[in-house]
């Protein structure tokens, strides 16, 4: 195929030469001074054969510019023709023939890169798939060969050019780059969650701090169902001031599926590091990294097939993660993100050559789900024990209950929103439920509505006529929310007393009046307080801007919202000092903790054997104490009690401590630390992050949480690391923060099982007899069983 190039195109340092593909070093010499066309302009006109349609094209002789002057060092002495010896001409003739033969040999051997397009569009493999296809690499070898195979990676200078890909009829070549906050870096121990939108993409280690980066590519331009014929990932170096050329470590480039790379704007370092990688490309060494140097990975057929399948599964993006491999990496390097003031404009690129799209786009996959009514949470501890005994009897006689599948949806007793009410009415063949358009408040609003209706009618057609038999929705006002835990407790006691009185008197239970089909339960929303001054208004506005940039604009109020305006509390007198413990029957609406000078160094006797935990049952986060024998709950007004109790969790009877530390793969593992010898030993070697260690009072086990199974589960390990046992088994739920009973026979933890809320659970030391200890409408978490 003959390459058609505009005659006015040339290099910036030599107008007589032209590359075979679009590059930033090209100049358009049709204008004076010469222009610098971008890559898209060159692809559309300069290399397409349609250069005559370019707005800058002219029919004047091509490249009518002065030739590039050679430096003075290149000049040869002037020799007159009549003074030049005849034998010197023969020497020049022989030398010219030798040069021509050598040039022909180089062209035949290494290809005609400067004279035409590549002979074959089939790319050579530059990336390999690691053994795990859906999870990150389990382990990285500590040593690699001195030189990797030549067909696994290509390092290209920033000024190098790439061959123009050849597309099949109907196909297209796409160059995808990241935009906005789709690229950034994370650092361990950083007070800031992430650095999205920064110019640098850091990866490596600096002292004890680890760095990683992520880049997200938008795949919405790639047609679903089309074959990805070629794919190349390019990363360009930007900063190497803290790179040690003799660093023996490796830098990993990993591909992460969209389903595993959600909510990057809210992710911290641990969350970004824990995202499972589907594919790990060929590692990079320190010698492969330099400022202005492009690391190019040509993705093989296996990876391209995986990318095409991601598109078929509904994915709209692909994330690339850059991070060091293990602890051998001791220096830091940064690639260019293409954003920010310090970028050189060499953003990460994902160049694709895709075939023609299918005539009919393939349908998106459907996920089966099950609508099930879950068992309501037990009302008290006695109900928990009764349900546990029933489940044990059923398991011994007829077998264990069938586990629930992953996609389980619980029906709500009432419609959650207006759309549900309207859909239910249509499904039942009832008159439609429509909201009346409010009457315009003034003539200007009425004129605006009329103009809007006219514009809609002219563009998309007139509005659908309103049915004559429609009904308007009715909002059912629920009981107002309790201002504090005392009010909530009083309501529960009142309902319980009424039910007990009816049961003792054998009165029939009244049948509740059914709701009309157009009824919708209202939702209470607290009104935003009016700023007290201009400074507060400015601060609230800045906060709203930051929230919109990081997590998105706030969700608008639903149609059934009931706005509650808080009434300012009257100025109270000097509060009476609150005691350290307040029982559940003596909760006050808004307790104010009494300031404590120097906290005591020992725990009060009242908390020994009790379970301390955090809860939001008072409307804000506070510390509470649960008596596991009676089930009574007590508010703890001082924070030092819980802080002092937490120090017991990781302590061994002999003085050792259970700590969390990354292994040579960068995975958080449980390790034992001996302060006497200032030495540590690794106890776990799981393939997920392990955390929340708790040493049993007997010293026989260490309980902890880990993501080794894909979710957060409770495990235990012996102090010598010889035995690791998993205690909990969930589908989508998670379990966290174990704590041992004083006798080491039971473990308390918190989980989101059944209710979806954080609740306290208890089990035996071997994982049997798991019971919900909270069973309430609040969130309870981070339990500590004091010993």
**Is pLDDT of 123 > 70?**
no
**Is pLDDT of 581 > 80?**
no
Lowest mean pLDDT across 63-72, 569-578, 703-712: 63-72
Q: Average pLDDT, stretch 189-205?
A: 90
**Interacting residues of 226 by C-beta distance below 8 A, sequence separation 6+:** 171, 308, 354, 355, 356, 357, 358
Q: Across-strand partners of 352? A: 174, 231
Q: Is the dihedral of CA 185, 188, 190, 194 positive or negative?
A: positive
Q: With 0.85 as the threshold, say if the pTM is over it.
A: no
Q: Please give the mean pLDDT across all residues of the chain.
A: 80
Q: Average pLDDT, stretch 288-313?
A: 93
Confidence class for position 706, pLDDT limits 50, 70, 90: very high
**Do the beta carbons of residue 322 and residue 332 sit within 8 Å?**
no
**Per mean pLDDT, which of 232-236, 341-345, 534-538 is the most reliable?**
232-236
Give pLDDT, residue 130. Answer: 38
Is 466 or 408 the better-scoring residue by pLDDT?
Answer: 466
**Do the beta carbons of residue 239 and residue 284 sit within 8 Å?**
no
pLDDT tens, position by position, 59-105: 776 544 444 333 333 333 333 344 445 565 667 777 777 787 777 76
Ranges assigned E (strand) in 60-141:
none
Q: Average pLDDT, stretch 467-493?
A: 80
* Look-up of token digits 């400067």: 114
Is 541 or 584 the better-scoring residue by pLDDT?
Answer: 541
Q: Which of 670, 595, 673 is nearest to 640 (CA)?
A: 595
Q: Tell me how crowded residue 337 is: count the other CB atoms within 10 A of its CB.
A: 30
**Interacting residues of 593 by C-beta distance below 8 A, sequence separation 6+:** 578, 637, 638, 639
**Do the beta carbons of residue 411 and residue 373 sit within 8 Å?**
yes
3-state SS string over 320-338?
EEEEECCCCCCCEEEEECC
Give pLDDT, residue 135. Answer: 35
**Do the beta carbons of residue 179 and residue 196 sit within 8 Å?**
no
**Is pLDDT of 515 > 50?**
yes
Q: Average pLDDT, stretch 715-741?
A: 94
Q: Average pLDDT, stretch 446-452?
A: 85
φ and ψ of 206, to 5 deg: -130, 110
Give pLDDT, residue 27. Answer: 85
Give pLDDT, residue 481. Answer: 77
Is 65 or 220 the better-scoring residue by pLDDT?
Answer: 220
* Look-up of token digits 């009518």: 64
pLDDT tens, position by position, 624-635: 999 988 888 989
Give pLDDT, residue 113. Answer: 44
Q: Which of 299, 302, 308, 316 is nearest to 354 (CA)?
A: 308
Is 165 or 254 the better-scoring residue by pLDDT?
Answer: 254
pLDDT tens, position by position, 337-389: 998 888 998 999 999 999 998 988 788 776 666 666 666 677 776 777 788 88
Give pLDDT, residue 112. Answer: 43
**Is pLDDT of 406 > 80?**
no
Give pLDDT, residue 5. Answer: 83
Q: Average pLDDT, stretch 455-462?
A: 75
Q: Which of 20, 17, 16 is nearest to 4 (CA)?
A: 20
pLDDT tens, position by position, 235-286: 999 999 999 989 999 999 999 999 888 888 888 899 899 889 999 999 999 9
Give pLDDT, residue 572. Answer: 66
Confidence class for position 508, pLDDT limits 50, 70, 90: low
Is 434 or 739 the better-scoring residue by pLDDT?
Answer: 739
**Is pLDDT of 157 > 70?**
no
Q: Average pLDDT, stretch 50-60?
A: 80
Lowest mean pLDDT across 69-78, 166-175, 449-458, 610-619: 69-78
Give pLDDT, residue 511. Answer: 66
Paired sense of beta strands 195-196 and 183-187, if any: antiparallel
**Interacting residues of 505 by C-beta distance below 8 A, sequence separation 6+:** none
Report d(CA 700, CA 716) in Å as an integer: 10
**Is pLDDT of 321 > 90?**
yes
Give pLDDT, residue 426. Answer: 85
Is 133 or 663 the better-scoring residue by pLDDT?
Answer: 663
b/e per residue, 175-184, with b = 16+ CB within 10 A? bbbbeebbbb
φ and ψ of 319, to 5 deg: -110, 135
**Interacting residues of 665 by C-beta distance below 8 A, sequence separation 6+:** 138, 139, 140, 325, 326
Give pLDDT, residue 586. Answer: 67
Question: What percent of the chain is modeled with pLDDT above 70?
Answer: 78
Question: What percent of the chain is modeled with pLDDT above 90?
Answer: 33
**Is pLDDT of 403 > 70?**
no
Q: How far is CA 298 from CA 134, 295, 303, 548, 569, in A?
A: 20, 10, 10, 37, 66
């Amino acid at each position: 195929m003959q390459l058609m190039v505009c005659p006015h195109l040339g290099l910036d340092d030599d107008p007589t030469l032209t590359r075979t593909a679009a590059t930033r070093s090209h100049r358009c010499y049709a204008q004076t001074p010469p222009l610098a066309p971008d890559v898209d302009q060159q692809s559309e006109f300069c290399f397409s054969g349609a250069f005559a349609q370019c707005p800058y094209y002219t029919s004047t002789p091509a490249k009518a510019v002065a030739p590039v002057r050679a430096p003075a060092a290149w000049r040869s002495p002037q020799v007159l023709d009549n003074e030049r010896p005849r034998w010197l001409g023969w020497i020049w003739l022989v030398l010219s023939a030798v040069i021509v033969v050598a040039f022909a040999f180089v062209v035949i051997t290494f290809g005609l890169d400067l004279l035409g397009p590549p002979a074959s569009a089939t790319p050579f493999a530059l990336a390999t798939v690691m053994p795990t296809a859906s999870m990150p690499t389990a382990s990285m070898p500590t040593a690699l060969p001195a030189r990797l195979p030549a067909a696994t990676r290509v390092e290209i200078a920033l000024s190098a050019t790439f061959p123009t890909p050849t597309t099949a009829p109907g196909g297209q070549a796409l160059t995808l780059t990241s935009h906005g906050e789709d690229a950034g870096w994370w650092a361990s121990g950083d007070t800031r969650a992430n650095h999205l939108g920064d110019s640098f993409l850091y990866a490596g280690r600096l002292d004890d701090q680890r760095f990683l980066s992520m880049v997200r590519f938008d795949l919405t331009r790639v047609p679903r169902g089309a074959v990805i014929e070629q794919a190349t990932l390019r990363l360009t170096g930007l900063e190497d001031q803290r790179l040690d050329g003799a660093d023996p470590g490796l830098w990993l480039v990993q591909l992460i599926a969209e389903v595993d790379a959600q909510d990057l704007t809210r992710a911290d370092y641990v969350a970004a590091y824990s995202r499972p990688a589907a594919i790990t490309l060929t590692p990079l060494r320190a010698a492969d990294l330099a400022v202005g140097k492009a690391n190019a990975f040509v993705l093989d057929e296996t990876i391209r097939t995986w990318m095409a399948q991601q598109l078929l599964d509904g994915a709209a993006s692909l994330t690339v993660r850059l991070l060091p491999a293990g602890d051998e990496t001791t220096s830091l390097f940064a690639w260019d993100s293409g954003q920010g003031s310090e970028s050189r404009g060499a953003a990460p690129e994902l160049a694709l050559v895709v075939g023609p799209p299918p005539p009919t786009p393939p349908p998106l996959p459907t996920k089966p789900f099950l609508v099930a009514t879950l068992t309501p949470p037990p009302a008290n501890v006695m109900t928990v024990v009764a349900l546990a005994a029933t489940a044990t009897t059923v398991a011994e006689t007829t077998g264990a209950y069938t586990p629930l599948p992953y996609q389980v949806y619980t029906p709500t007793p009432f419609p959650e929103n207006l759309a549900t009410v309207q859909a239910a009415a249509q499904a039942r063949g009832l008159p439609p439920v429509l909201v009346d358009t409010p009457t315009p408040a003034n003539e200007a609003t009425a004129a605006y509505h009329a103009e809007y209706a006219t514009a809609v009618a002219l563009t998309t057609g007139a509005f659908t006529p309103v049915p004559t038999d429609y009904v308007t929705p009715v909002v059912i006002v629920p009981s107002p929310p309790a201002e504090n835990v005392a009010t909530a407790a009083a309501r529960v006691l009142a309902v319980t007393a009424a039910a007990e009185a009816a049961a003792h008197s054998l009165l029939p239970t009244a049948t509740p009046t059914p709701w009309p089909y157009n009824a919708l339960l209202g939702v209470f929303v607290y009104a935003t307080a009016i700023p007290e001054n201009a400074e507060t208004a400015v601060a609230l506005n800045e906060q709203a801007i930051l929230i919109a940039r990081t997590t998105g604009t706030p969700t608008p109020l639903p149609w059934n919202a009931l706005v509650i305006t808080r009434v300012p509390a009257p100025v109270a007198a000097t509060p009476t000092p609150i005691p350290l413990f307040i029982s559940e029957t003596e909760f006050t609406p808004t307790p104010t903790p009494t300031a404590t000078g120097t906290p005591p160094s020992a725990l009060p006797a009242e908390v020994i054997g009790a379970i301390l935990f955090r809860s939001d049952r008072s409307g804000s986060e506070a510390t509470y104490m649960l008596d596991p024998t009676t089930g009574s709950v007590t508010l703890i007004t001082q924070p030092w009690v819980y802080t002092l109790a937490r120090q017991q969790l990781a302590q061994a009877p002999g003085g050792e401590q259970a700590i969390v530390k990354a292994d040579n793969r960068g995975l958080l593992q449980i390790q034992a630390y001996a302060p006497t010898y200032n030495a540590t030993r690794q106890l776990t070697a799981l393939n997920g992050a392990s955390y929340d260690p708790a040493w049993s009072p007997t010293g026989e086990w260490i309980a902890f949480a880990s993501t080794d199974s894909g979710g957060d589960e409770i495990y235990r390990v012996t102090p010598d690391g010889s035995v690791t046992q998993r205690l909990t088994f969930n589908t989508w739920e998670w379990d966290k923060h174990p704590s041992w009973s004083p006798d080491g026979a039971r473990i308390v933890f918190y989980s989101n099982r059944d209710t979806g809320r954080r609740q306290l659970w208890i089990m035996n030391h071997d994982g049997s007899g798991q019971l919900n200890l909270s069973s309430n409408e609040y969130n309870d978490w981070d339990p500590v069983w004091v010993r």
